[in-house]
Amino acid sequence: MIFDLDGVLIDSESLWDDARRQLVEESGGAWKDEAQQAMMGMSSSEWSDYMREELGVPMSSEAISEAVVERLAGLYRERLPLLPGARASVTALAQRWPLGLASSSNRPLIELVLELAGLADCFEATVSSEEVAHGKPAPDVYLEAARRLSHEPATCVAVEDSTTGLRSAAAAGMGVVAIPNRAFPPEPDALALADIVLESIQALGPERVAGVRS
């Protein structure tokens, strides 16, 4: 099994939105209403380039990424927005299958979240989209997670919440469990790619996954 992070294990999309928006406004750029939706699923290099080129942040892409990550890390240390049921679900599933994580978050944030949540030992492989050629909706991050788990993608099940994430997992040829993001609901055609749709991660247990892929 391979989990997404933001929107699946932690309720963080609004925090990403706030951190990026604040940096744009403080640096003299111009925020766009569609910016958060546009950046969902992008790798760090992709969204940093977007903020520099489309939102007018007068900084290098590397500096933009570092500034946003620093803001988010501070927020996570103050209060980790772990979704109800996430820890129990991950713990239960880790007892049955090897778990991976395929996230658009930067590597330092992935490690910080899993450490603060007490879940680092549950995951045998974690991949940031900054470590592959293309971010979601390309399948790269899921294919790399499967490779690190030494499993064929077709035998894996992905857990996703967003349009780009659902398309990424489906493009990788995996079974797909959708837990739709309430703040940024996936598009209907992306949601249709899922094998099952759940209301929350609290409903995600071994019995719900077993029928998706063996």
Question: Residues 62-85: pLDDT tens digits?
Answer: 999 999 999 999 999 999 999 999
The one-letter amino acid at 48? S
Best CATH choice for the domain 2-11+82-209 from the list 3.30.460.80, 3.40.50.1000, 3.40.50.620, 3.40.50.10860:
3.40.50.1000
- Compute the mean pLDDT over every residue in the chain, rounded to the nearest whole number: 94
Identify the pLDDT of residue 121. 97
> What is the Cα–Cα distance from 42 to 38, expressed in whole angstroms?
8
Per domain, the residue ranges of the chain are 2-11+82-209, 13-78
For the stretch 140-183, pLDDT in tens is 999 999 999 999 999 999 999 999 999 999 999 999 999 999 88
Token pair for residue 13?
């999309």
> CB of 153 within 8 A of CB of 147?
no
For the stretch 6-21, pLDDT in tens is 999 999 988 998 999 9
| Active site (annotated) includes residue 195 | no
Look at the pTM and tell me if it is higher than 0.75: yes
Identify the pLDDT of residue 171. 98
What pLDDT band is residue 213 in, cutting at 50, 70 and 90? Answer: low
Q: What percent of the chain has pLDDT over 70?
A: 99
| Active site (annotated) includes residue 4 | yes
Token pair for residue 89?
């679900």
User: Which one of the listed residues 6, 11, 140, 161 is annotated catalytic?
Assistant: 6
The CATH number of the domain covering residues in 13-78: 1.10.150
Burial of 95 (0-12, 13-18, 19+ CB in 10 A): exposed
Question: Where would I find the beta strands (DSSP E) of 41-174?
Answer: 99-103, 123-128, 157-160
User: Which one of the listed residues 4, 17, 140, 161 is annotated catalytic?
Assistant: 4
